[in-house]
Structure 1
Amino acid sequence: MMASGHQSEAELENHLIRKLQSIGYHYVEIPDVETLNTHFRAVLSERNQERLKGTPLSDREFQAVLNDLIGAKTHYQVAQILRGSVVQPTGKINIKRDDDSSLYLEIFNGKQFDQNIFEVSHQMTVEGRHENRYDVLILINGMPIAQIELKRQGVEFTQAFNQIIRYRTESYAQAKLMRLVQVFVISNGNETRYFANGDGELNSNFMFYWTDEHNNWLNDLDAFTTTFLSKPRLHSLIAKYTVFDSSDHKMLLMRPYQIYATEAIIKQAIDHPHENGYVWHTTGSGKTITSFKASQLLLQETDAEKVIFMIDRADLDIQTVKNFSAYLPETTGGQSPLDRTDNTAALVKQLSSNDNGLIVTTIQKMNNAVSNDRYKDILTPYHDRKVIFIEDESHRSQMGEMRKNVNHWFKNAQHFGFTGTPIFQQNMGPDGRTTKDLYGNQLHQYLIRDAVRDGNVLGFSIQYLSTFEETDHDITDEQVPGIDTQEVYESEERLTKIVEHILLNHSHITKNKHYNAIFTVANTRMALKYYQLFRKLDPDHNLKVTTIFTWAANEDDNEEHQKQDDVTSRMGLDQVVKDYNQMYGTDFSTDKFKDYFADVSKRMRDHNDQTPTDNIDILIVVNMFLTGFDSKRLSTLYVDKNLQWHGLIQAFSRTNRVEGKQKPFGNIIAYRNIKNKTDEAVALFSDGDSSGFLAPDYDELKAEFTDKIGQLLTVTPDVQSVDDLYNRGDDALYEFVMAFRAVLRVYNRIRVYDDFEWAQYEPEFSDQLMEAFRGKYFTAYQTIYQRKTQERVSILDDVDFDISLLETDTINVDYIVNLISGIDLMSSTERKQDIQKIEHLLDNATNDQLKSKVELLEQFLNEVLPTLDTDDDIGMSLSNFMAESQRAAIKGFSQEHHLSEDFVNEQISDYNFYGKTKDKEIIDKLSANGLGFREKRQAKREIKDFVSTIDRKYSLS
């Protein structure tokens, strides 16, 4: 290991520069922004000597280059200009010369790394609101492509991340070329990560490890530098292994396992064109990006006439095609490779056309094409042509007659399969073949243990809950043969207990419905029974529950029960859809099942805190949505059916997408004893190493939580002692921030367990004490960030407060207003208790909107509420109080600044509508009042501050 415990940042920086020089980088001195611009201009001219024909760029022409390259563009647009097109991966700028002639200038050669100039610099300083000093910059052709921030060993790793965020915010306006940065690297010598630049906020959850081909971390800065920052690899990352997501306008840098898998496929296609292969990458690791990039590069780098990405029909309307479509470059003409129609003729037309080498289709449509005599003449030439198939979820779509038919027709084809759960001897189906039998060699693997370790997916918290007992012993279907019957498992009493358990715990498990859940059951009959029980036991629809299934495949199962139930699964679904239409204001039917399916998918995926009435909280399914459905907001799977092997892993994996610090793992609540099946599946798909698959059990977390609480109370024995820290300096406050953050992190993991009760930690610690410390923590956060606006540098500036940890409970304005409106005016005792509860919540408020109204709400509780009669409308009284308070505030402000109330109200209206005030009108008004320059500047600032906060402070939203 290179770094020692005593190595300073300067020593680490110098060591890195020497290492980069040893692998071919040239050192260049870039002390400031002006030098950066001058250097880029010089390198640009040097690389384009022939095009310039001896006439250097004038100042106006160089400014035109900067405008064309950066201008008023987003980072997403700048990154695309840098790379050129997929067909011509060379970045070029086209400007008009002073003599009106056209000039093309090459800025980046995406084909050959050695046709670019690689340099390194350090300690470039940018003067902005603060002085920002960049540790190390990597330049390609004079452009800053990579920014590296270093911290000495032992310093909190996230400080470097926060520093990058601050530099982006504070100095990119002055250093415009810094917007060309494509990749950030942070390191303390022993720990190193990389992540992509982009528009908007960056997320520390998406800092990636770099690894070797076998997924071993290359964490040491020396190892990272000689591999990731080698000129060929960095060039390939920029030129090849970047994906542009047009749906989110985001640039994505591929992860190492995605790159290695893509390279293995390309190598197999070139070196062994008659041998197939498959990639085993665990569910949720981003197989779609890998398969997309492999498809794109196969078309460019092999002699294949067509590359066909083939999926099964179940996925057609789900995430895969949506993502694939978003990753494709925008076209100005021609036919899109994404044909989502049911018309086989459209596929045949694509196969016979030269417009698109890349085709996306389904196994069903391809089978129809090769099996229909109508298309025989057109497709016959493909018997001998070179075609490459990329097949997603190969275990689902590529076993059986359809695959045989396709293989028979495309005799010279090569097949590459992607799967998160391969077929082995243990889980082999009636087809009798494994994934290896079908595809041959495994080209790359990235297992769930690797993904959990890297933070690319979450582990699972699994609770097995017994739902019935006999003679004081838990009964399971494994223990008692024959117990798995309709009489027991579908009894009204059992199903009612399960629904009651979900209704009682769902909000707690899903962080007050910030997340949603899937409930998988054995058959459509049970799906409908559960649906009706939710409606019966939750008549106010506090949880929005619906169900979806295909009925044709399940009617035989229901036939024997039609007489007693007098309903088929389709008839039951008809009523569900009718209820759905009433709940969401839609107009679906089972005749238009695809439309209903698409709307359910959207509501499950786009689960939104701002519009909770549009959400689905629990979706009851039989088999649908258990594969191929990806949503970061899905956190919980309720299970009342027998799962095993790949079906179990696929179902569990719906819950483990990374979303944020609030979601520490996927929750599995099993109402059947499937522990043995889970253990078998985990062992099989972890390749013998299941470490990381399961979240720690409750006792482990309890011990950790107790330990962190003890550390906090050592630093601050009580809540009041936090206030004393402000007089003892930043070091003391830092200790409290670190200690309470550690408590919060464990709390967010442990609170979802059924075993968790605050009584286990009392009297040393309690729910009330947690909330009180939470308020102090939030105050510390606000204090530190207020200092930044006052240009005061603190050792706490780069502390990662992990502020999202505070947002686990939705104590917001609506919540408080509802509590106030519900105060009992009939009983003085009840009223006092209600007010005390609300005041406690206000004292510990962490919601910004709520914090701004605390003083007014407390004034209402203390001064207005005692004057109300028992039959008064509290909600209306509160609205009137807030409105009158706002009018009084406007009146007082207007008099203080010698402005008319109408003028101030106009500025408030302008701000609310346009998002800003009309500065010229303000200056004109202040000038008319005879104010001097400094007085006008101060008054203008006060007006803007008042106008920007007035609505937030006095509104009840």
Structure 2
Amino acid sequence: MPDEYQSEAELEKQFMRKLNALGYKSVHIRDEQGILNHFRDLLNTRNKENLKDNDLSDTEFERVLNALVGSKTLYEIAQQLRGSDVQPYGKIVINRDDNSELYLDFFDGKDFENNIYEVTHQVTVNAAYTNRYDVTVLVNGLPIVQVELKRRDVDFTQAFNQVIRYRDESFRQLYRFVQLFVISNGSDTRYFANGDGKLNSNFIFYWTDVNNHWLNDIDAFSASFFDVKRLHSLIAKYTIFDGDHQRMMIMRPYQVYATEAIVKQAKEHPDENGYVWHTTGSGKTITSFKASRILAQETDAKKVIFLIDRSDLDIQTSKNFNSYLPKTVSNEPALDQTTNTRKLVEQLRSSDTSLIITTIQKMNNAIANDRYKDILTPLQDQRIIFIEDEAHRSQFGEMRKNVNRWFHNSQHFGFTGTPIFAENVGPDGRTTETLYNKELHKYLIKDAIRDHNVLGFSIQYINTINRKEELLDGNDEVSAIDTKEVLESDDRLRKIVKHIINNHNSVTHKKHYNAILTVQSTELALKYYRLFKELDPINAVKVTTIFTWAANEDTNEENQGKEDLTSRHGLDSVIKDYNQQYNTSFSTDNFKDYFSDVSKRMKEHSDATPNDNIDILIVVNMFLTGFDSPRLSTLYVDKKLQWHGLIQAFSRTNRVEGHAKPFGNIVAYRDIKRNTDDAVQLFSAGSSEAFFVPSYAELLNDYKEAVSNLHEVVQKPEDVDKLFDLGDDALKEFVIAFRSILQIHNKIRVYDDFTWKDLAGEFTDGELQSLRGKYSTVYHSLYDNNDHPEKASVLDDIDFELDLLAVDKIDVRYIVNLVKSINVENEDNMNADRQKIKRLLDNADSPELRTKAELLSKFLDEVVPTLKANDNVSKALSGYLEDQRNGSIKQFSEDTKVPASVINEQVGTYEFYGKPDDRVLNEVFNEAGYGFKEKLTLKKRVVSFIEDTVKKYNIFS
């Protein structure tokens, strides 16, 4: 075993030797210019035939750099590296000095052997600050993976913070090609994708073997992850591009292994089905999409059909599907959202469409309709592969049987987070295994919680009646008791509503997060809604409800004269309130639009626009499956849940978001403990330890210990001021000690048991608040100081976890993401979205945002109202910004007589190098015959314009 105190230099040498053994050649490169020269040499060699032995000139190589990097975002660079359906892998075209076109190949994404793999270390880059990078993995001379190391006795997360600093300070030119980061202290190793915007420490991943065992040690990690064929597959194949959010995502190991298992089954056993058991929240949709794409590309299947249930196809899900899949040449959306079955039939008939995404309902309609029989009959004996998302919901009925009867030569792959076993089998007696035969890969909830891919759960059972509640949940021996009357009594419901109102702030981090209340029936949902309106007249907690209504429901007779408790009348009354609250115009006649708006508000819950939020959504069954939102943290339960329904409902709350969300919070007003324990045992394969977070008693002990550690550093808040005189090491001790307090307090605050009396004599609420201020002062004194020393402070390597103190920073990226998510499919919703964003722009306090506010407002007023339902808002914004920039440059060119082509070129140069090219500007001014003073004045004006243009129009950077 390596020495526990192995130095960083020794670890680096060990790692380099490992990469050499795996086939990476060491190259000696010391600085940024060396990286450029080396890439140029390899590019010339790689394209020798096209170059006709006439290597790239300096100006041609400059054009290459501009084509590769230029003013592109990291997202655009990543796409260019991999290519797409309409763009070849790793190729660019430039004009040679003689104006002839030259095609250059810089990466082969299909054949890993047709690339050169190298490694270098300690490359120095002199930018705003001088930084020296530990280890850089090169592919064809391009820096593709950046590895940052720390010695074994140092927390590896320090390397994460170092990556952030390096990236912000000096990642430029070819270093913008870095696709992946690896961080390690030798014992703990993680990887994550590069991208535009902020990196989130919650999304750094473990690498594992196929059985989900961690490969943490740097040698074990490298042997698998840095195997040349594996690294190539991660770069070229196992990435996902999210077009709506303009980000590249790297797949996690279990997603990769599941995809490979499906492809292997399809190629080697085309007559056998299979299923993947990946727990809810682990990213099954991404895995199934990737598997669908590869099956369409690499198998002899006539069609690959991604089959989903219509009930899962809310507006956000549809956007995700379209954003993950590349657009066709005509830029048509990959997913047909219409109810028109003919569109599906056309895709089935077309020889140009190998991958189809549709619903099982539409597929069933197509094969059942005689008018399509002649078209679809030729497909009956063709090889068809079906990928079925959330297999347990849509694949056990008659529609699945109909599909099987029609397609005689079909193969089915199912994805489920909660399989059907003998214990939770439905009336038809079929389990997931009987339907799909073979389990191809498994990733359980205990694995996902262990890997921090989803959160564990805090479950509180609140007693609301005097009797033992299990006797009121349907046991035979007490069937005479009117359980409905007891459980749905006004007195009990009032107690629950009061409890929720009184505690909602603490369980949702002062409404930074939102919640779902699930109840037994639509009638009960409406009762709860009315009680919230009655007991919270000032609307401090914004509540609404949604459910599918029935025209002739069972309770209509008993509720005659009380129309607000019949489902449709009651829901219309709720929607009327909703329209007043959110300035919308829905009704049950356009229920789909109401559903979409509710879904969007639940997902876009924001501290910046609290009046646009839904704090608590009351549901019966809707939103308990398939709804993913990191901002949902709490589930209030007043209904009987069991087996897969229980796990699915709980799992709405456990999406990873930030440090302020330590777990999914379940508050149960019925005694479902036995059902919870049984479900957890079943879906954790008998091991449930990871599912539950520590008890209140355990957290209280941790809190007291953390307070004791803090008092060893400072006895009282004012003592923090003295630490500034003692230097960075003293401040670092305080940051770590108080950060621990914040982490524990964030967990314990949601417990009903929590009271400051339990810490009496040790710590108080007042001390906590005062120390929050001191903690914030320490942070801002370091990072708001313009005279930040070139030599990094030791505090640079500490994660302050500021989201435990504050939330939602309203900056350019925040606003742009809101713009890109505008719902252009409904005019009322679109106008509401526009007004919300304009309010934020009017109150912008970020200097960077203020420079772009007018531009964005004009886009909202002039362009957004003209967009059609299938238009891509992000693409429209990019086009608008380009037109506005070009118009501004044209006007400036006319005013100054400086050619627009020169200004355009210098804007690109400024974006790439951080300054315009003086040599080019001087040549232009000299040719125009300007005198010295005129030249000086004009140059200052041109440079100022270029700087302002970059600041104003570079919204996506």
Counterpart of 1:53 in structure 2 is 52
On the 8 A contact 1:336/1:356 being kept in 2, the answer is no
The counterpart of 1:538, out of the listed 536, 539, 542, is: 536
- Relative to structure 1, the CA distance from residue 65 to residue 296 in structure 2 (aligned partners, 3 Å threshold; closer, same or farther) is same
Residues 328-337 or 211-220, more deviating = 328-337
Q: After TM superposition, give the deviation of residue 560 of structure 1 in Å.
A: 4.8
SS of alignment partner, residue 558 of structure 1: coil
State the one-letter code of the partner of 1:297: I
Counterpart of 1:436 in structure 2 is 433
Q: How does 1:279-428 map to 2 (within 5 A)?
A: 279-333=276-330, 336-428=333-425
- Relative to structure 1, the CA distance from residue 334 to residue 755 in structure 2 (aligned partners, 3 Å threshold; closer, same or farther) is closer
Runs of 4+ aligned structure 1 residues displaced above 6 Å come to: 472-475
Residues 577-586 or 84-93, more deviating = 84-93
SS of alignment partner, residue 121 of structure 1: strand
Q: After TM superposition, give the deviation of residue 473 of structure 1 in Å.
A: 9.6
State the one-letter code of the partner of 1:722: V
* Distance in 1, Cα, partners of 2:77 & 2:801: 30
SS of alignment partner, residue 258 of structure 2: helix
Aligned residues: 816
State the one-letter code of the partner of 2:517: F
* Distance in 1, Cα, partners of 2:326 & 2:775: 46
- Relative to structure 1, the CA distance from residue 335 to residue 766 in structure 2 (aligned partners, 3 Å threshold; closer, same or farther) is closer
On the 8 A contact 2:130/2:790 being kept in 1, the answer is no
Counterpart of 1:103 in structure 2 is 102
State the one-letter code of the partner of 1:510: T
Counterpart of 1:872 in structure 2 is none
Residues 476-485 or 176-185, more deviating = 476-485
Q: After TM superposition, give the deviation of residue 99 of structure 1 in Å.
A: 1.4
* Distance in 1, Cα, partners of 2:91 & 2:482: 68
Q: After TM superposition, give the deviation of residue 84 of structure 1 in Å.
A: 1.6
Q: After TM superposition, give the deviation of residue 710 of structure 1 in Å.
A: 0.8
State the one-letter code of the partner of 1:158: T
* Distance in 1, Cα, partners of 2:802 & 2:331: 48
The counterpart of 1:592, out of the listed 587, 590, 593, is: 590
Counterpart of 2:909 in structure 1 is none
Counterpart of 1:601 in structure 2 is 599
- Relative to structure 1, the CA distance from residue 183 to residue 81 in structure 2 (aligned partners, 3 Å threshold; closer, same or farther) is same
- Structure 1, residues 850-891: CA drift from partner, whole Å, max 9, x if none? 9xxxxxxxxxxxxxxxxxxxxxxxxxxxxxxxxxxxxxxxxx
Q: After TM superposition, give the deviation of residue 88 of structure 1 in Å.
A: 6.9
Counterpart of 2:129 in structure 1 is 130
* Distance in 2, Cα, partners of 1:167 & 1:12: 20
On the 8 A contact 1:288/1:320 being kept in 2, the answer is no
* Distance in 2, Cα, partners of 1:89 & 1:228: 26
- Relative to structure 1, the CA distance from residue 806 to residue 597 in structure 2 (aligned partners, 3 Å threshold; closer, same or farther) is same
Counterpart of 1:857 in structure 2 is none
* Distance in 1, Cα, partners of 2:220 & 2:673: 41
The counterpart of 2:677, out of the listed 676, 679, 695, is: 679
The counterpart of 2:524, out of the listed 521, 526, 544, is: 526
On the 8 A contact 1:319/1:630 being kept in 2, the answer is no
On the 8 A contact 1:278/1:416 being kept in 2, the answer is yes
* Distance in 2, Cα, partners of 1:474 & 1:341: 46
* Distance in 2, Cα, partners of 1:77 & 1:141: 19
Q: After TM superposition, give the deviation of residue 273 of structure 1 in Å.
A: 0.5
The counterpart of 1:622, out of the listed 608, 616, 620, is: 620
Counterpart of 1:223 in structure 2 is 220
TM-score normalised by structure 2 residue count: 0.83
Q: After TM superposition, give the deviation of residue 319 of structure 1 in Å.
A: 4.4
On the 8 A contact 1:130/1:791 being kept in 2, the answer is no
State the one-letter code of the partner of 1:442: E
On the 8 A contact 2:473/2:640 being kept in 1, the answer is no
* Distance in 2, Cα, partners of 1:169 & 1:614: 33
Residues 717-726 or 770-779, more deviating = 717-726
State the one-letter code of the partner of 2:694: P
Structure having the higher Rg:
1
Residues 400-409 or 154-163, more deviating = 154-163
The counterpart of 1:477, out of the listed 473, 479, 497, is: 473
Residues 559-568 or 311-320, more deviating = 559-568
Q: After TM superposition, give the deviation of residue 711 of structure 1 in Å.
A: 0.8
On the 8 A contact 1:335/1:356 being kept in 2, the answer is no
- Relative to structure 1, the CA distance from residue 775 to residue 226 in structure 2 (aligned partners, 3 Å threshold; closer, same or farther) is same
Q: After TM superposition, give the deviation of residue 682 of structure 1 in Å.
A: 0.4
State the one-letter code of the partner of 1:596: Y
Residues 481-490 or 694-703, more deviating = 481-490
* Distance in 2, Cα, partners of 1:699 & 1:281: 33
**2:773 is aligned with 1:769:** no
Q: After TM superposition, give the deviation of residue 672 of structure 1 in Å.
A: 0.2
* Distance in 2, Cα, partners of 1:320 & 1:270: 30
State the one-letter code of the partner of 2:780: Q
RMSD: 2.3
State the one-letter code of the partner of 1:41: R
* Distance in 2, Cα, partners of 1:562 & 1:751: 41
**2:460 is aligned with 1:467:** no
Q: How does 1:45-194 map to 2 (within 5 A)?
A: 45-86=44-85, 90-173=89-172, 176-194=173-191
* Distance in 2, Cα, partners of 1:784 & 1:359: 53
State the one-letter code of the partner of 2:610: P
State the one-letter code of the partner of 1:185: V
The counterpart of 1:738, out of the listed 730, 736, 739, is: 736
* Distance in 2, Cα, partners of 1:280 & 1:585: 43
The counterpart of 2:638, out of the listed 637, 640, 643, is: 640
* Distance in 1, Cα, partners of 2:303 & 2:482: 50
On the 8 A contact 1:392/1:417 being kept in 2, the answer is yes
Counterpart of 1:517 in structure 2 is 515
SS of alignment partner, residue 776 of structure 2: helix
State the one-letter code of the partner of 1:372: N
* Distance in 2, Cα, partners of 1:532 & 1:504: 17
TM-score normalised by structure 1 residue count: 0.83
Structure 2 gaps of 5+ residues are 810-843, 847-914, 916-935, 952-957
On the 8 A contact 1:527/1:620 being kept in 2, the answer is yes
On the 8 A contact 1:468/1:475 being kept in 2, the answer is no
- Relative to structure 1, the CA distance from residue 702 to residue 230 in structure 2 (aligned partners, 3 Å threshold; closer, same or farther) is same
- Structure 1, residues 633-667: CA drift from partner, whole Å, max 9, x if none? 00110110000000000000000000000000011
State the one-letter code of the partner of 2:350: S
SS of alignment partner, residue 485 of structure 2: helix
Of structures 1 and 2, the one with the larger relative CO (CA 8 A, separation 6+) is 2
The counterpart of 1:278, out of the listed 275, 280, 298, is: 275
SS of alignment partner, residue 356 of structure 1: coil
Q: After TM superposition, give the deviation of residue 475 of structure 1 in Å.
A: 6.7
Q: After TM superposition, give the deviation of residue 692 of structure 1 in Å.
A: 1.2
Structure 1 gaps of 5+ residues are 811-847, 851-918, 920-932, 949-957
- Relative to structure 1, the CA distance from residue 504 to residue 74 in structure 2 (aligned partners, 3 Å threshold; closer, same or farther) is same
Counterpart of 1:259 in structure 2 is 256
* Distance in 2, Cα, partners of 1:582 & 1:320: 27
Q: After TM superposition, give the deviation of residue 797 of structure 1 in Å.
A: 2.2
- Relative to structure 1, the CA distance from residue 286 to residue 446 in structure 2 (aligned partners, 3 Å threshold; closer, same or farther) is same
* Distance in 2, Cα, partners of 1:809 & 1:66: 36
SS of alignment partner, residue 613 of structure 1: helix
State the one-letter code of the partner of 1:430: P
On the 8 A contact 1:338/1:360 being kept in 2, the answer is yes
* Distance in 2, Cα, partners of 1:334 & 1:785: 44
